[in-house]
Amino acid sequence: MGRGRQGDGVVLRDHSLRIRFTYQGVRHQIGLPLTPNRANANRAKNLLAKIRQEIEWGTFRWENYADEFPSYVSVAKPEPLGPVPLFFEYASTWARTVANTKSTRELYKQTVENFWTHELGDKRLDEIRHDDIATVLAEYREDLSTKTLNNALIPLRRLLDAAVANRLIPSSPAVGIKNLPYQKPTPAPFEGEEVRAILKHM
């Protein structure tokens, strides 16, 4: 059968079938317990597409793939360093670690407390999902400006990235949350008197 193409992340060889993907900066190459043939290569391609989508959305969890590659999951899945705190608990300690100016640090703290802690505070960090964040943004979209919502995402992303670095959660649920598009307001049309004044000076 020979060596298969690797550009799509699926490697088909004579005696093995593997998938390749990058997660949290680490490149993984995983052998699948499948007979190496074209049909199973297509199965592997679909599996890989699902994994990559979950990584993009921030919903990927090693334990969800224990049946597909159990031996690899047991090695690759990092164990938390301790009990996973509630969002509001971690937010209060994270704010003191922000390496910015005092004014920026205070702004981040207030944004997290007034915006995100109000909505997510009672959830454990590992219980927060991509959809939870998207729902909060949708609920506030009519009341707050796009700029305000996008600015609120900045400290949230940093807080969750720090939680990943501290091995409290396997991935950030904010991955895949994009800034809301900003549309400039349509200029108001001139009033009749303004049009006449403009024409008078032309």
Interval 1-10 mean pLDDT = 59
* pLDDT score recorded for residue 186: 52
DSSP-derived letter for residue 96 is G
Span 18-52, pLDDT tens digits: 898 887 667 888 888 888 898 999 999 999 999 98
* pLDDT score recorded for residue 154: 93
* pLDDT score recorded for residue 136: 93
Q: Is the pLDDT of residue 90 over 90?
A: yes
* pLDDT score recorded for residue 80: 54
* pLDDT score recorded for residue 193: 58
Q: Is the pLDDT of residue 109 over 60?
A: yes
What percent of the chain has a predicted confidence (pLDDT) above 90? 32
Any idea where the domains of the chain sit in the sequence? 10-76, 82-202
- Provide the CATH number for the domain formed by 82-202 in this structure: 1.10.150.130
Residues 6+ apart with CB under 8 A from 73: 62, 63, 65, 66
**Mean pLDDT over the full length of the chain:** 81
In angstroms, the CA 33 to CA 29 distance is: 13
Q: Is the pLDDT of residue 1 over 50?
A: no
In angstroms, the CA 120 to CA 133 distance is: 9
Interval 5-19 mean pLDDT = 79
pLDDT tier at 95, thresholds 50, 70, 90? confident
pLDDT tier at 104, thresholds 50, 70, 90? confident
DSSP-derived letter for residue 25 is T
Q: Is the pLDDT of residue 91 over 90?
A: yes
Of residues 117, 121, 136, the one with CA closest to residue 177:
136
Span 53-67, pLDDT tens digits: 888 777 788 878 878
pLDDT tier at 96, thresholds 50, 70, 90? confident
